[in-house]
């Protein structure tokens, strides 16, 4: 889970996740949304993939990325278990 939090700390990676929340996208489509070199976007996608936040699938000459909702569910469960969903136990103090 630590890799996921580290990946989420970067604003570019969070923006990629926002884009993917609309559905799967090719690496080229993702890169077109940024004003940075394609290798930089590729690096960010690799970090997201290593953290388990996205999955990829080769389709012909393209690599298609999509969100891995399982990891997001695990993160939400962790937040819930920690009391964040209920506002925490220390709210009354």
The beta-strand segments (E) located in the chain are: 25-26, 54-59, 62-67
pTM over 0.85, yes/no? no
What confidence tens digit (pLDDT) does each residue in 53-66 have? Answer: 999 999 999 999 99
Q: What percent of the chain has pLDDT over 90?
A: 66
Return the CATH fold of 2-81.
Answer: Arc Repressor Mutant, subunit A (1.10.10)
If you ran DSSP here, which 8-state letter would residue 37 be given?
A: -
pLDDT value of residue 86: 60
Question: How would you class 1 by CB atoms within 10 Å of its CB: exposed for 0-12, middle for 13-18, buried for 19 or more?
Answer: exposed
What confidence tens digit (pLDDT) does each residue in 13-43 have? Answer: 999 999 999 999 999 999 999 999 999 999 9
Domain boundaries, the chain: 2-81
């Amino acid at each position: 889970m630590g890799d996921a939090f580290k990946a989420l700390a970067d604003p570019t990676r969070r923006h990629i996740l926002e884009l993917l929340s609309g559905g799967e996208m090719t690496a080229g489509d993702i890169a077109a949304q940024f004003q940075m070199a394609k290798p930089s976007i590729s690096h960010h996608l690799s970090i997201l993939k290593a953290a388990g936040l996205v999955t990829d699938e080769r389709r012909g000459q393209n690599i298609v990325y999509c969100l891995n909702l399982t990891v997001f569910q695990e993160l939400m469960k962790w937040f819930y278990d920690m009391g964040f969903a209920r506002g925490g136990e220390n709210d009354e103090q």
